[in-house]
Chains A and B, each alone.
Chain A
């Protein structure tokens, strides 16, 4: 079954004429038609557009044109990323029916590389959440167990990979929205260095934390996608104007001999599921066995990261989401004779935003308001400095840092819906990376003993050293695969006989 292969293998099959992009794309569309009513990874499937893109890729290949490594490979796009003419909702009722008149830079780069965009994936509304339960269009289900969450906010993207609906996906990561879903679905996800991938056309949640990134089923697939979307963009003032590190080469090397790997003391122990910690420690032993030096480091300010994050992200979101006001695009509620623009804005924003979004907008409005700015937003920015310093110190002694990606495996849908603080704790290990603007990867470390659900191993590297993630990730992945004998996703059980 071709859909179960890795993207790199699919690319080889396209290159040697074993299959065509149209056939490959159709196989994925069929798979989506078969399983997505259960998984609900997709909000929109662009059947016609995808097949047209696939046909174009096949044509170019037939004409002997030089093609990118991922030409003709299908991909799932998180619905927070703007694609011209294709409905983009960000999982919100607010943007129901909106078809943007422009392409995001990531989409432009995917088009230029002849990657086939299958459709838009489900997510927590405006990327706010850790379970994809906050989508206005209903939750996504974890292919490992349909009664469980696929992580969030990019649960749709990761679930589509685990369900073999797409071999590659684009996610965005503001506090862990690529890595945590990767962890709980047994897939790979990378939050690139802030500024490494353009944010132009990524509907902003928290501008200073948001970063688009690649999701795949293997480290190499993820690297191939990362290299396709990375690079300087003059349309994004915060885009780094420097050469992209040699990511794919690193993913092919995977050599940790002599590397110093720091284990962050504060990101384990209390609150972490035993089975998750067991897999984490086994992975460390494997890395040590491959010649890496394992060091324990302390990042004492990380315990304040979650608090600072839940001030900075809501503050920025309260401003970023102000534009959704029913005047120029999106839904409009209550527009009838005698009702003012102000009232229509109030009504539309009441109806158009879900609970979590409103909660964060109000929290952010409070944190920025006069008299509270210094105590909340200002203090959070100072904590950000301290977290950066913690990382800087740790990286003087190490090449990469590691931790479990998420404290637990996938929980049941609805289990934490009424407890925002419990929900926020899912991102405790991923948030520091966003606060410091550095890069991080999650890859599967195995199945937790308690529940046989995937656990994630997080690797963190300094800004613009994204290649280190892939080097370490590839080494660990290969060691784990030898141990397991088969890829972790061969155990996906939630889809029953269909898988």
Chain B
């Protein structure tokens, strides 16, 4: 029986550390001109450089430097006047040179911070997450493990390697340890990654798709007894591929650590892998001996000494911070805190904004994205933003409801049909013959039929029991197959019954 979270936080204080890897959205790779298209046929985006062929040499992609500096600036970092690449030496078949060109003791950006907010029972709470460094490196290839039961590495018969991803520019953003989050550690971790993702998206430097691995988070967690200043042993959880998983992974590790500590056992410093299905982490294969990366300055590349004017130009061109942007939207739309928080939580703020920009009323736009569309997304277990319905579709639907050409109920049908791939809203309406029954004659016929089948209800309404009209209205809506405007039906019905 696992320990309750409340019991963990009653005794221990969690200490967080987060390492986020971001694949930059450059057209070409970090050190060569190969394409970076996601999902391309295997080994079609490789060359002597990114295959690590003998004799090949790297040349730095200037855009990658620019993007990294932009990230550093957006995270309030100092930009190093002098930084260098270093080789991190270790053998792994997905790494063609058997060293990763990375940065070591001379990273390009240092000492920044990111303020995050979480929505708690005690209201909005703010935390400052300090950023230790932002540095550049290159991604590895991808291995496919063949044979064995699970398709996983263990038990595989052999592996197949695709180096399309090898050499894609990667930025690693490392926080300092984050103390003082208390019971909110899982939420803070999530909020940090979410805020970071929003910033990266606003900078347009990455497509930040966690599910495709262009944003990856490693969560370091340790516990210490409340009141103690001795840091506990940390574990590093990899493979955390969604915001929800970040929160679950941190919570799960806190509980696992507490259970070990309560039993008087030691937490092992190790890498663990997050399991999406169970929400638990699994120990990585522990290495019998420690790695020694033997870092040294990359002799094939020269130092980066960014021009101060260049940095200031980039600083001046930084987009509005997502947090400030959100405040502005909240005011403009007059949305209460809670509602704002649920949009952020559901990760639909950006798409709602896009819908509003296309002319939709903010409240209505929010309603659809958080309501019907979110419901379908939930059913399909995907993000609302990944459904095949666009802000333009939703704006169109909102407009049709506003003009009375669609009822809310019909609008829901249209949304479902759009998501089912039946076409854009106008096409769906056309194909399905959806239209609001607004012909008074047709409505009156249906009303009279409803009264004749439920005369007792009609009597009650005539007698002043207006709420009883609901049953009759329902019958009319059923009769008109939902294509009537309920408000209009109600108006006609009450008038007919003398109310």
The answer on A and B forming one complex is yes
Binding site for B on A (CB under 8 A): 81-82, 88, 90, 95, 98, 100-102, 104, 199-204, 206-208, 234-238, 315-316, 318-319, 322-325, 327-329, 337, 341-342, 345, 365, 368-370, 373, 377
Contacting pair A102 B59 (CB below 8 A)? no
Contact: A323 with B55, CB < 8 Å?
no
Do B57 and A369 touch (CB < 8 A)?
no
Q: Is the CB of B93 within 8 A of A341?
A: yes
Q: Which listed residue (A95, A200, A328) contacts B51, Cβ 8 A?
A: A328
- Known contacts A207-B300, A238-B300, A323-B97; A342/B91 CB under 8 A: yes
Interface pair A235/B55, CB less than 8 Å apart: no
**Distance from B385 Cβ to chain A, minimum over Cβ atoms (Å):** 39
Complex contact B96–A315 (CB within 8 A): no
Q: Which of B198-206, B239-247, B291-299, B451-459 touches A?
A: B291-299
A-side contacts of B48, CB under 8 Å: 100-102
Could you write out 23 A-B pairs with CB less than 8 Å apart? Answer: A81-B55, A100-B55, A102-B56, A235-B57, A235-B59, A236-B57, A237-B57, A238-B302, A316-B296, A316-B299, A319-B294, A322-B91, A322-B97, A323-B96, A324-B54, A328-B52, A328-B53, A342-B91, A365-B294, A368-B89, A368-B295, A368-B296, A373-B296
Complex contact A370–B294 (CB within 8 A): yes
Is A207 a contact of B299 with CB atoms below 8 Å? yes
Q: Please name the residue on chain A nearest to B290 by beta carbon.
A: A370
Shortest Cβ distance from residue A226 to the other chain B in the assembled complex, whole angstroms: 20
In the complex, are the beta carbons of A323 and B57 less than 8 A apart?
A: no
Query: By CB atoms of chain B within 10 A, which of A98, A325, A373, A377 has the most?
Result: A325
Q: Which 4 A-B pairs have the closest CB atoms?
A: A322-B98, A368-B294, A207-B299, A208-B299
- Does any Cβ of A come within 8 Å of B419's Cβ? no
| Chain B residues numbered 261-307 whose CB sits less than 8 Å from any CB in chain A | 292, 294-296, 299-302
Number of A-B contacts (CB under 8 A): 101
Q: Does B58 contact A (CB under 8 A)?
A: yes
Say yes or no: A327 contacts B93, CB within 8 Å: yes
Q: Could you mark each residue 133-162 of chain B with 1 if its beta carbon is under 8 Å from any beta carbon of chain A, else 0?
A: 000000000000000000000000101010
Residues facing A in B73-107 (CB within 8 A) are: 87, 89, 91, 93, 96-99
Task: Look across to chain A and name the residue whose beta carbon is closest to the beta carbon of B32.
Answer: A235
**C-alpha gap A337/B296 in the complex (Å):** 37
Once the chains are docked, how many angstroms separate the CA of A69 from the CA of B59? 32
Residues of chain B at interface, number, CB under 8 A: 31
Checking B87, B93, B292 against A319 with a beta-carbon cut-off of 8 angstroms, the contacting residue is B87
How far, in Å, is A349 (CB) from chain B's closest CB?
Answer: 10
Selected contact of B55 from candidates A104, A316, A377, CB within 8 Å: A104
| Contact of A199 with B57 at beta-carbon distance under 8 Å, contacts A325-B91, A328-B96, A341-B93 already known | yes
B93, B159, B294, B302: residue with the most chain A Cβ atoms closer than 10 Å: B294
**B58 is contacted by which of A203, A237, A319 (Cβ under 8 Å)?**
A237
CB pair B52 A323 closer than 8 Å: yes
In the bound complex, how far is the Cα of B300 from the Cα of A202, in angstroms?
A: 12
Query: Is A319's CB under 8 angstroms from B99's CB?
Result: yes
Q: Does B494 have its Cβ within 8 Å of any Cβ on chain A?
A: no
Instruction: Flag whether B387 is at the interface (Cβ < 8 A).
Output: no
User: Which residues of chain B have C-beta atoms less than 8 A from A95's C-beta?
Assistant: 54
Give chain A residues whose Cβ lies under 8 Å from the Cβ of B444: none
Are A237 and B91 interface neighbours, CB within 8 A? no
Residue of B nearest to A126 (CB): B54
A203 touches B299 (CB 8 A): no
Cβ–Cβ < 8 Å partners of A234 in chain B: 59
With contacts A208-B299, A237-B300 known, what are 10 further pairs, Cβ within 8 A?
A82-B53, A95-B54, A237-B57, A238-B299, A238-B300, A318-B294, A323-B54, A328-B53, A328-B161, A368-B296
Residues of chain B within 8 A (CB-CB) of A81 are 55
B296 touches A325 (CB 8 A): no
B400 is an interface residue with CB less than 8 A from chain A: no
Question: Which residue in chain A gives the minimum CB-CB distance to B98?
Answer: A322
Contact A82:B57 (CB < 8 A) given known A101-B48, A315-B296: no
List of A residues within 8 angstroms of B99 by Cβ = 319, 322
Which residues of chain B are within 8 angstroms of A203 by Cβ–Cβ distance? 54-55
Give the distance to chain B from A4, nearest Cβ to Cβ, in Å: 34
Chain B CB within 10 Å — which of A199, A203, A237, A365 has the most? A237
- Chain B residue numbers with a CB within 8 Å of A82 are 53-55
Q: Are A370 and B55 in contact (CB under 8 A)?
A: no
Q: A238-B302, A322-B98 are in contact. Are A329 and B53 (CB under 8 A)?
A: yes
* Bound-complex Cα distance A11 to B391 (A): 72
Chain B, 19-66, CB within 8 A of any chain A CB: 47-48, 51-60
